[in-house]
Structure 1
Amino acid sequence: MSRTPLRILFAGTPANAAESLRQVSSALEGHEDTAVLVGVLTREDAPVGRKRVLTPSPVAQTAESLGLPVIKANRLTADVLEQVRSLEADASLVVAYGAMLRRDALGALPLGWYNLHYSLLPDLRGAAPVQWALIREREKTGVTLFRIDEGLDTGPVLGTWETPVGPAESAGELLERLTAEGSALAVRFLLSLSEDRSLADSGEEQDEEPASEYAPKLTAQDGLLDPGTSAAEAFSRARGTTPAPGPWMRLNGEKFKIAKVCGVERGAPSGGGAAVPPGSVTAHERGIAIAFSDGALVVERVQPAGKKEMSAKDWLRGVQAGRGENVRLTS
């Protein structure tokens, strides 16, 4: 006896969710008799760039290219839920949609909503787990697929994938890896769910203890590097905030962006053999070295206020030609 294909609604908004949508769509090709994407839920068009042009989300743009119907909503009101029900989806895969689901929304799909979260739950519940994993110097992380309930990332776990964190990996690079592995994990579960729909009620309950640490949404202030901290702390924060919101310091009171970091040099920073105070900038074979409390952060590329991104070496040469050797960044 043939079974009706599992009908899947994809819910997500940013670029990594768009990549997940592409990967899931590609993986389901040839499985149309088992599972099929029937539509996409994403947030409403938002202003982008200096001119604040109203622009569809990356997920909306990807859905259009795939020929999938799109529902745009920042909140799941009664009218939006009617649109969701009209797609006759059985279940939803959620990847960074950007809104909490209330009880009425959770009951709108017969087999539930499944979230792909970029940490090993219950650790790092919240909006920015990849970034905080790096800032807080986690040695390992991963992805967790769980069924959404009314709590914050608290539902029963259906699957995980674990990985070491690369020693110089940025948040953007780690996010890319986790998206690929997480999408594959989600597809395996959805195909299993299509064969055995009782799996919707399975899963391992999370530890009742609260998460060891939460991962709130980042602000621009989270990218500020304090020269009074250790070089290792600065490196972790720079990696965790690359590419967004971006690491930065101040030069003469103006925001100075650190575009690319490549490592840490241990030991008291020095210039010409003499110790230099935290924040001091000296030349380095790979760019520049910014002094911190116990070493230096090596930087390859920078973006001074009002200028385009450039080689850190070229920037330092230009600055020193105008003002001499003493260049110092502050928090």
Structure 2
Amino acid sequence: MRIVFAGTPAPAVPSLEALIASRHEIAAVVTRPDAALGRKRVVTPSPVGSAADAHGIPTIKAAKLDDDATARIAALQPDLGVIVAYGGLVREPLLSTPRLGWINLHFSLLPRWRGAAPVQHSLIAGDITTGVTVFHLVPALDAGDILAASEMVVPPLATAGTLLDALAIEGAAVLVDVVNALGEERTTAKPQKGEVTLAPKISLDDARIRWNDGQDAVLNRVRGVTPEPGAFTLIAGSRLKILAAHRAESHSLLQPGVMRSIEGDVSVGTATEPIVLTRVQPAGKAAMNATDWWRGLRTDELRTDS
């Protein structure tokens, strides 16, 4: 089949690469415009755009799928549109432009975690299973009929970054199977069933640790917002990023938000057992081991602002 692929970030690249390696033709790749990155603000193509360039595939760089993007896609006469984390909505008439419409690879088991940040919300919620879903795109948010899904157990120490990497690989294989089946007219779509939960874009406030939560909830939040935007707490109004943490082995209890060095570990109290900070980044400084940061403070105890 002749396919138009829409995607932007690194987790969409395995799907693009898998489709390139398949028997189908990628007529064009749609991705978000180049962006200024890093301290030097170097204008850089998206990961999907870079992958397309490496394979000599034409790109359509569009901040949104407007009339111009629709006309350019329609001129390609695609059989199928495939979207993986593009970062924008597909509306009519573009939705009906490909002969077989559009399919979407989503990084959750729908209808759980519809929205922009399913992996992050899944980890914050403490889900023990997750997965990927390929479904027909419809105007309503992530609500189309399911063509295929694959379940995965969440690794105990997974962060949003590592889990998304794993789901991206699994999802690419499922996606190609669905595309092959569509080309051979042997697909069966099923309506979504179960409780709908929403996964809106993660905000900075989502990344702020709530020390009045229990140990599990605090660690789930840290993992769910790692690497971006990064968990943090405030100490005397200054932000301390928490890059890595784990359960405390000591049975010493601390009040929520109270920090002390216990048996050489930087421990912080929660509503239940403490957690141990292992790597942190103070405001305006480089990342460092938490013990080195604490040693430089020359204090016995700190209290967070929350």
TM-score (norm: length of structure 1): 0.87
How do 1:1-331 and structure 2 match up within 5 A? 6-26=1-21, 28=22, 31=23, 35-196=24-185, 199=187, 202-207=188-193, 211=196, 213-263=197-247, 269=253, 276-283=254-261, 287-320=265-298, 324-331=299-306
Over residues 33-70 of structure 1, what are the superposed CA-to-partner deviations in whole Å (9 max), with x where a residue is unaligned? xx122210111223323444433211111111121110
Secondary structure of residue in 1 paired with 2:303 = coil
Change (3 A) 1:80 1:299: same
Q: Is the 8 A contact 2:134 2:148 kept in 1?
A: yes
The answer (yes or no) to whether the contact 1:237–1:247 under 8 Å persists in 2 is yes
Quote the Cα distance in structure 2 between the aligned partners of 1:155 and 1:268.
50
The DSSP-based 3-state class of the residue aligned with 1:132 is helix
Q: Which residue of 2 aligns with 1:3?
A: none
Tell me if structure 2 keeps the 8 A contact 1:288–1:312: yes
Cα gap change, 1:96/1:317 in structure 2, threshold over 3 Å: closer, same or farther?
Answer: same
Whether the 8 Å contact between 1:23 and 1:180 is mirrored in structure 2 is no
For structure 2, the 5+ residue unaligned runs are: none
* SS of 1:314 mapped into structure 2: helix
Q: Secondary structure at the match of 1:181?
A: helix
Q: Offset of 1:139 from its aligned partner?
A: 1.6
When structure 1 is superposed on structure 2, of 281-290 and 112-121 the one drifting more is: 281-290
1:100 maps to amino acid: L
The TM-score, its normalising length taken from structure 2, stands at 0.93
Do the aligned partners of 2:145 and 2:189 also contact (CA within 8 Å) in 1?
Answer: yes
- Shift of the 134–264 alpha-carbon distance from structure 1 to 2, 3 Å rule, reads farther
* Identity percentage of aligned residues: 39
Q: How far apart are residue 265 of structure 1 and its match? A: 5.0
* CA distance 1:25–1:227, shift in 2 (3 Å): same
Residues of 1 paired with 2:124 and 2:250: CA distance?
Answer: 19
Compared CA separation, residues 287 and 89, structure 1 to 2 (3 A): farther
Contact 1:9 1:41 in 2 (8 A): yes
Deviation at 1:267, TM superposition (A): 5.3
* 1:142 shift after superposition: 0.6
- Displacement after TM superposition at 1:129 (Å): 0.5
Amino acid at match of 2:149: T
Task: Summarize deviations over 1:3-29 as a string: whole Å, max 9, x none.
Answer: xxx112111111211233234334x2x
Paired AA for residue 69 in structure 1: P
Q: Which runs of 5+ in 1 are unaligned?
A: 1-5, 270-275
